[in-house]
Structure 1
Amino acid sequence: MTGADLPDTPRLWENIAHFARALRVAGLPAGPGQVVRAVEAVQAAGFTERADFYYTLQACFTNRPEHRAVFAQAFRLYWRDPRFLEHMMSLLLPAMRGVAEEHHARPGERRAAQALLEGVERRPPDMPPPPEVREIEASRTWSARERLKTLDFEQMTGEEQARALRMLKTLRLPVPPVLGRRTVPQLAGRLPDWRTTARASLRQGGEIRRFACRDRCRRPLDLVVLCDISGSMSSYARMVLHFVHAVASRPGPGWGKVQAFTFGTRLTNITRQMHARDADAALAAAGAEARDWDGGTRIASAIREFNRKWSRRVLAGGAVVVLITDGLDRDLPDILSREVERLRLSCRHLVWINPLLRWEGFAPKARGIKAILPHVDSFRPGHNLRAIEDLAHAIGQPRDAGVHARMMTLL
């Protein structure tokens, strides 16, 4: 991909059209208009540098932050890797373990491979005949739905992501209402109502015939979600925001107001955008509002801004706060620890969802994780549907701390 002049043959334009067709299959809005714009942009930008060619096509074929991961993998496989077909076959076909080092697909790589191999006949690899084994009927032991619940978000194909989004739309977080400070009249209440009793006795000449009672009223809890949309969380941001939209549009019994915030290098309130009926429209509006998508991470600065500007507004009634981040921060750990501690003292329950817990050997070694961990009530993973479903139980049961106690022993 070098040379100062564009080739005279139309082979390059055919490749761009085929590349756009693969992006469209992978879920990107790459139509004929984008193909024409890409050809004109390549003609105007030239064909000298690979980076210029990459960013020219990216500007033409992507219009959302979540499209960049799929585009990057599709571009690498189609334009840069000379053995991309064998590489993509290895992602979609069974292989023998132990022959070579096992390859783990990068974010968006399976979707790109599935799109580029659409219509290609897949021949299974040659394997030695298997030894005789006893066959056991186990077709009903593991359904596709259960497998999808345990599949990592960043390893999902386009079809699996669509099915996961449909499941997220039906997700609810029911929690029991809590006792408020105010009291209401009750026939069998636990608190005496002396004022009402005295007023009623005046109508009977000062004779008390019945004691009036009151009891504390029950009120729904408010939910506040703080979601990290930095580069290290970009693979999970789309799924997490779909989950936030499902909770915000229909929060379920026991919830009052649902507030949603995103942060990367700055804090953004997307509560109004999350209350839209259509999930795609809500995410598009949230992406336009949050301009720091897929950028750096400044968790301490974002939480400090939340504590200063929004804490008294949204946490006055003792709301439950769900913090969704990997804890990889650029700010000083002392500032982060102080701001998270203040956040914990302002809310009723602080739940930390960290996708890094998907790794079996995870340990709290990063400075940001060490600063946040001592101040949260619950520490849980959030890399698949099963983990998000378990979040409902964690919020409804304040004593369920997840893996918090085990991680505190590793500090």
Structure 2
Amino acid sequence: MINELIESIVAFCDYCRKNGLNIGIKETLDAFEVVKLDLFYEKEIFKWSLRTVFCNSKEEFDKFVGLFENYWLKSGKIIQKVVNQNKSVLEIKITNQILSILHNQDSVVEDSTEKESSASSVELLRKTDFTKISIIEEDRLIYIAEQLWKKMSLRITQRYRKSNRRKLIDIRKTIRYNISKGGTPINLQYKAKKKVKPKITIFLDVSGSMDRYSFFLLRFIFILHKFFQKITTFIFSTRLMNITNLLNKPKLSEVLLLLEDEANVWSSGTTMGDCFEEFNYEYGNRILSGRPVVIVFSDGLETGNVEHLYNQLSKIKSKAKKLIWVTPLLGMQDYQPITKGLTAILPLFDEFTSAHNVDSLLKLEKYLTDVL
């Protein structure tokens, strides 16, 4: 039973590492310390003890709970209590296992190689075009991408908060506050700069030519909604749809379920001019007040009137703080924006960038922090 427990701990560490947690030799040794402290007697105590050892963020905490339940319960493994008379035997065997880990050079090299291999595979996935991701790799990519995009969004909002620190001394408030101290301005009072929360307006092309990309881009936009309060999102193809309220749902799966009823919006043609005209008429004055940053995710393949597209996008551009056009086609080798639609509206863009993989979307951080 003792040997089975030790083998299970080692196997569980390996299982967590293969499923995205950063588990190395140190974490494995700490897991053995948890066992030596008798913290495995109760399932919940054992679970939270290992979680403390293995995890460094809320995302990792949440992921660990599923891994623990799946390994120890669903796999039929039972945490068994070691009786007191076997405790000394347990400590000896764990000590031997620790020594084996520490002194087995091949084991250390293998672990290092595996970590390097894992890091390399993560880098490869980050740089792989969304259309070339296999079904097997998709779940892993989504997890990696979400962690990176969340960190990016958090950095942007943190920089925004830091940029609004108080700076100007309020003379009147300073005098009034220090009257009780003889009038000497010992404690300075400041004028608080009025915080104007940044506004972002997003248009996501969900036409047939964007089919494979739109799923990943929607995930990216969903995460942005969790970190920015003043953000509005529309999807479009042959007609426009405001999905801002849908993206405020707790889970993306709920959003996708509700969007199933709008099948005629997805995977059809693209008439951007008509969609932008609808936006200008129905939403323009309200949404574009305050000069938001406007981001358009589209390949720019227009099937409607190009002049009409230019006129409608010009109206949006005139009220926007910045117009950023993001296209997955820039990830293609030797790509040139020579389609009639893009050629016409290209002069309107403040930025023209790519959105074909995880790393390309992370570069949006630069453009957003420059203007927010």
Q: Which moved more, 1:277-286 or 1:373-382?
A: 277-286
Shift of the 380–138 alpha-carbon distance from structure 1 to 2, 3 Å rule, reads farther
Correspondence 1:1-400 to 2 at 5 A: 140=116, 143-170=120-147, 171-172=149-150, 173=153, 174-175=155-156, 176-177=159-160, 189=168, 214-248=191-225, 250-251=226-227, 255-289=228-262, 291-398=264-371
Distance 2:309 2:235 in 1: 17
Map of 1:120 onto structure 2: none
CA shift, 1:226, in A, is: 0.5
Distance 1:256 1:290 in 2: 28
Amino acid at match of 2:267: D
Q: 1:138 to 1:339 in 2, by over 3 A?
A: farther
In the alignment, the residues of structure 2 paired with residue 178 and residue 337 of structure 1 have an alpha-carbon distance, to the nearest angstrom, of 36
Contact 1:268 1:290 in 2 (8 A): no
The alpha-carbon distance between structure 1 residues 336 and 327, as it changes in their structure 2 partners (threshold 3 A), is same
Instruction: Give 2:3's aligned residue.
Output: none
Distance 1:263 1:215 in 2: 41
SS at match of 1:218: coil
Greater mean alpha carbon deviation, residues 315-324 or residues 230-239? 315-324
Q: In the alignment, is the contact (CA less than 8 A) between 2:247 and 2:255 conserved in 1?
A: yes
Give the Cα–Cα distance (whole angstroms) in 2 for the partners of residues 325 and 379 of structure 1.
Answer: 11
Contact 2:295 2:326 in 1 (8 A): yes
Task: Give the distance between the partners of 2:269 and 2:328, measured in 1 at CA.
Answer: 17
Match of 2:106 in 1: none
**Structure 1 segments of 4+ aligned residues over 6 angstroms from their partners:** 208-213
For 1:350, the aligned partner's letter is: L
Cα distance in 1 for partners of 2:233, 2:261 equals: 15
The Cα RMSD (Å) is 3.3
**Any idea what the Cα deviations from partners look like across 1:213-258, whole Å, max 9, x if unmatched?**
635323321222100011111111111111111222x22xxx3322
- Normalized per residue, which structure has more helix? 2
Amino acid at match of 1:225: I
1:100 alignment partner in structure 2: none
The corresponding residue for 2:8 is none
C-alpha distance after superposition, 1:34-67 (max 9, x if no partner): xxxxxxxxxxxxxxxxxxxxxxxxxxxxxxxxxx
- 3-state DSSP class of the match of 1:220? coil
SS in 2 for 1:216: coil
- Structure 1 length normalisation: TM-score? 0.54
Q: Distance in 2 between matches of 1:169 and 1:213?
A: 39
1:258 partner SS:
strand
Alpha-carbon separation, structure 2, partners of 1:224 and 1:355: 19
Matched residue type, 1:268: M
Is the 8 Å Cα contact of residues 228 and 263 (structure 1) preserved in structure 2?
yes
- How far, CA to CA, are the matches of 1:347 and 1:290 in structure 2? 30
Q: Distance in 2 between matches of 1:388 and 1:344?
A: 22
Shift of residue 291, structure 1, vs aligned partner: 2.6
| Partner SS, residue 194 of structure 2 | strand
Shift in CA distance, 270/289, structure 1 to aligned 2, threshold 3 Å: farther
What is aligned with 1:73?
A: none
Contact kept in structure 2, 1:260 and 1:270, CA below 8 Å: yes
TM-score scaled by structure 2? 0.59
- 1:311/1:168 CA distance change after superposition, 3 Å: farther
1:283–1:289: structure 2 CA closer, same or farther, 3 Å change rule?
A: same
8 Å contact 1:307–1:339 — kept in the other structure?
yes
Contact kept, 8 Å, 2:126 with 2:145, in 1: the verdict is no
Aligned partners of 1:193, 1:265: CA distance in 2, in Å?
58
Whole-Å separation in 1 of the counterparts to 2:231 and 2:331: 27
User: In structure 1, how many angstroms separate the alpha carbons of the residues matched to 2:359 and 2:197?
Assistant: 25
Instruction: For residue 387 of structure 1, report the CA deviation from its aligned partner.
Output: 0.7
Tell me the CA shift for residue 299 of structure 1: 0.6
Going from structure 1 to structure 2, the CA distance change for 1:247 and 1:212 (only over 3 Å counts) comes to closer
> Letter of the aligned partner of 1:147 in structure 2?
L
**Matching residue of 2:29:** none
d(CA) in 1 for partners of 2:141, 2:338: 31
Residue 56 of structure 1 aligns with which residue?
none
Distance in 2 separating the partners of 1:219 and 1:321? 17
Closer, same or farther: CA 366–215 of 1 in aligned 2, 3 Å: same
